[in-house]
Copies of this chain bind each other. A is one copy, B any other.
């Protein structure tokens, strides 16, 4: 049995553990969700799986939950990064939410030559990833990194990580892989709304670890492209099959 309310906490979870609530968490559980002493919540912290917990103390400014039993083990997503160029605020929020739901392990905003956004609010995007994990029943929260230049990310690319690069200028190639590439870490790169520059495209297509993939004959918005690319990858290589 698992409780309907799921809450991410930055606290160890285990048999006999009690968890102190922050003011915001207490407001959410007791003010918004109307829980009282004895009410049940599912907790996860990204490390110890999901635990059923019971309200032991409830106050306006805080409270205590007591862990009862583990209801799910930690389920790590595949080792998949999602790199994307930030767009308008609402759609950037959506990309982060979707990436967390779809099981990306790490979400990396990158600045390309045609990216308009100069900055992102990393803390706000991380909060969206937490909320999506609470919603989708996951036990893991992907890390949202700070905005980095795409060129820098490629300069420091880790050995052995493959890159699925979704280019709207590309026609007709699906994801075809050598067997040896299947059990490696991966990343997906979604281009900016204005496309990649010629210099970027030349560099990307020349990378030995890059796989150019088509997302069909229509131009997709970046948030649509992110979900579509994650679907293709999860189906071919991830935990959907």
Contacts and interface: CB of A to CB of B under 8 A. Distances in A.
A102 B232 contact: no
Interface string A171-189: 0001000000000000000
Contact of A235 (B103, B174, B219): B174
B75 A217 contact: yes
Interface string A199-230: 00000000000000011111111001001101
A157 interface: no
Contacts of A221: 97, 101, 135-136
Contacts of A135: 219, 221
A235 B232 contact: yes
A234 interface: yes
A231 B135 CA distance: 22
Nearest to A229: B231
A69 to B, nearest CB: 21
Interface string A134-151: 011110000000000000
A234 B219 contact: no
A26 B237 CA distance: 49
A120 to B, nearest CB: 21
A226 to B, nearest CB: 9
Interface of A: 75, 94, 97-98, 101-103, 135-138, 174, 214-221, 224, 227-228, 230-232, 234-235, 238-241
- Closest 3 A-B residue pairs measured CB to CB? A227-B227, A231-B231, A216-B240
Given A101-B220, A137-B219, 20 more contacts: A98-B227, A101-B219, A102-B220, A102-B228, A135-B219, A135-B221, A136-B218, A136-B219, A136-B220, A137-B218, A138-B218, A174-B241, A214-B240, A215-B240, A216-B234, A216-B239, A216-B240, A217-B240, A228-B228, A228-B231
